Every structure is written in C-alpha cells, then in structure tokens.
Amino acid sequence: MPETLTIDGLSKRYGDVIALDDLSFDVRPGELFGFVGSNGAGKTTTMRIVLGVLSADSGRALLGGRDIDLDVRRTIGYMPEERGLYPKMKVGAQLAYLAELHGLSRAEAREAVERWTERLGISERVGDTVDSLSLGNQQRVQLAAALVHDPAVLVLDEPFSGLDPVAVDVMSDVLKEKAATGVPVIFSSHQLDLVQRLCHRVGIIGRGRMRALGTVDELRGSGSTRLEVHAPDAPVGWAAHLDGATVLEHREGRTVLELAPGTDDQTVLHAALKTGPVHEFSTHRPSLTELFREVVAA
Ligand SMILES: Nc1ncnc2c1ncn2[C@@H]1O[C@H](COP(=O)(O)OP(=O)(O)OP(=O)(O)O)[C@@H](O)[C@H]1O
C-alpha cells in the first residue's frame, strides 16, 4: 500500500554550519515532488537522513508514520548524489545482487534486472563492468539499481544531471510511471524547467529551511504578476498611483508593471484605457526559475 514520506522537523549542523533548520514537508503517495534549492541549501543532507546513512540532530523521517528503521529502509529506492555502484562489477550481476539484497529471490531478481535494463535502454551493457560505461549510462544503471526491488518510495539525488535529452525523457517517463502506481517520488534537481514540467509539487529549500512549497501553479500564482501594457498615448506616470502596481519600465508607450498578489489587473486596464487605445495587455506569470531567484534572494 502506497504511503506518505514525512520529513518532520529535521535539524542538522556540521560544526558551525547549519545544514538543516527545522525542515518539514511530506511527499504523498503518487506524487512527483521536486526538491530544489541553491548549492549547499541542504537537499543531499535531507536525503541522506531519510536513508539513514546520516543521523539528524533532531527531527524524524517517517514512511507511512513509521520511523525509517532497517526494514523500512529496504523498501526505499535511493539514488545517491555520489552514486554508489561497484565500478569493477558487471552491470547485470550488480543489479541482481542489489535486488537480492533487498529481499528478491534469484529468479525475481533476474526478471527485474531484465525488465529494467530493457526499459532504461542498457540491456546490451549487462555484461560490461560499470566503469566501462559512459557517465550517462552509469546513471541509467544507478536508476535501475534504485528500481529493481520494486521500492515503496523513490529518493533520487540529482537523477537528471549529465543526461542527454533522450535519457532525460526516459528518466522522466519512468519517474512519472512509478508515481502513477502510487509510489511517492522525490528528486532534487537544478534543472528548473524540467521540474516545472514534471512535478506535481515543488519545495524550494534555502539555508536549511523550506522557503516555498506547493504545486507549480500555486507557486507561480503566489509570486508577483507582471503585466505588459501597450497604450501608445499613455503619458509617463499614468500608472504611478495605481494601488498594488509598481511600474518597472515605461518606454515608447509600453509599460511593464509588477502587481502585488491579489491586485486586480482590470483596474490597470481601466486606467490604461483612460489614456487612449490599448493595443496590447498581457500578463506574464513568473516561471519556476524566476520564482526561485525571488525566493532565494529574499
Ligand atoms: N560532511 C560535511 N561536513 C561539513 N559540512 C557539510 C558536510 N556535508 C554538507 N555540509 C554542508 O551542509 C550544507 C548543506 O549541504 P548539502 O550537500 O545538503 O546541500 P545541497 O542542497 O545538496 O547542495 P548541492 O545542490 O550543491 O548538491 C552546506 O553548507 C555544506 O557545505
């Protein structure tokens, strides 16, 4: 039965560095959750604590309300940032070994290795050692390693970094499919266009705290809205006194305004129409990348 992954008040210091500061969020069954943040924001630290390879100073990680002990940990599919494959071992043997380590019988392991190497486009490489593969193919093997034991939750640290566009598509499809079966999937990434396209919800972490959390639409709707108005007869200062609107630029009848959350854009349109014809009136919602910059700079 699919279960929720809960991060509950995690704090972690390394000496004077506060890596995590009372961090809480959850990843729900069937959800693709994008975990984004600047370098050093605390993503890897969080994921390592979830896996139990690092201990928190305080707070807990839970799966289905249960502490993540050794038994629960075996049900997690994990792709560590530093990757974790044995370079001299053959791909097929390594994946089968990992599957058996997670409790599959030999026959089940063989079947799972065949299925996932086929799905991830590396079936011709099962007899090769990991270190003879390109980095992108090693990453596909790493994803196969996270999947062969049919995990109850997927925790992936930068699974998309260094992949070619075809591999990005394969990785995206596999993550979507896993989520569609009810598995909670969390992955970190700096590729925000990809996160925007793929994820149900996104958490932006900064200096160890969750700075923004929600669906992509919620996040983009919560930021400031920009409006571009082309009113050729509008004099300079026509929008200077509109409540909730800040003029960012005014040039040759084109005005770019930033609207505070909750400001009605129709008020701006009425004001523009009072100056003469309005040839263009368009809203521009911030992309996840623009929003990220705002949140991180705050
Ligand atoms: N073993 C360690 N010893 C000391 N400080 C550490 C250690 N591991 C992480 N840190 C510090 O903890 C903070 C969080 O690091 P973390 O690796 O979790 O960030 P991240 O969000 O994964 O970054 P990136 O996007 O660069 O991978 C950083 O300031 C980092 O320098």
Question: Would you say residue 285 has pLDDT above 80?
Answer: no
Edge-to-edge strand ranges of the sheet holding 153-156: 76-79, 153-156, 185-188, 32-37, 201-206, 209-215
CA of 42 to the centre of ligand 1 (A): 6
Instruction: Decide: 5 and 184 in contact? Cβ < 8 Å.
Output: yes
The whole-angstrom separation of Cα 162 and Cα 164 is: 7
Q: At 18, list the tokens.
A: 């506060």
Residue minimizing CA distance to atom 6 of ligand 1: 14
Region 139-159: what's the mean pLDDT?
Answer: 93
Q: Which atom of ligand 1 is nearest to the CA of 15?
A: 4
Q: How confident is the model at residue 274 (pLDDT cuts 50, 70, 90)?
A: very high
Q: Is the dihedral of CA 27, 28, 30, 32 positive or negative?
A: negative
pLDDT one-digit tens code per residue, 69-78:
888 888 999 9
The answer to whether the CB of 27 falls within 8 A of the CB of 153 is yes
Going from the Cα of 12 to the center of ligand 1, the distance in angstroms, rounded, reads: 10
- Strands across the sheet with 225-230, in order? 245-251, 254-259, 225-230, 280-284
Task: Give pLDDT tens digits for 133-143.
Answer: 998 899 999 99
pLDDT band at 27 (very low <50, low <70, confident <90, very high): very high
pLDDT single digits (tens) 97-120 = 999 998 899 999 999 999 999 999
Of 84 and 158, the structure prediction assigns the larger pLDDT to 158
pLDDT value, residue 223: 67
Going from the Cα of 10 to the center of ligand 1, the distance in angstroms, rounded, reads 15
Domains of the chain with bracketed CATH: 5-220 (3.40.50.300), 223-297 (3.30.70)
3 state SS for 263-281 = CCHHHHHHHHHCCCCCCEE
* pLDDT-derived band at 244, boundaries 50, 70, 90: very high
Residue with the smallest CA separation from ligand 1 atom 19 is: 40
Give tens-digit pLDDT for 44-70: 999 999 998 899 999 999 999 999 988
**Beta-bridge mates of residue 62:** 6, 67
Average per-residue pLDDT for the chain: 92
Spatial distance between the Cα atoms of 259 and 243, rounded to a whole number of angstroms: 9
Question: What tens digit of pLDDT does each residue of 170-223 get?
Answer: 999 999 999 999 999 999 999 999 999 999 999 999 999 999 999 998 888 776
For the chain, give the percent of residues with pLDDT over 70: 99
Query: Exposed (0-12), middle (13-18) or buried (19+): which is 124, by Cβ within 10 Å?
Result: exposed
Q: How many angstroms does the Cα of residue 46 sit away from the middle of ligand 1?
A: 10
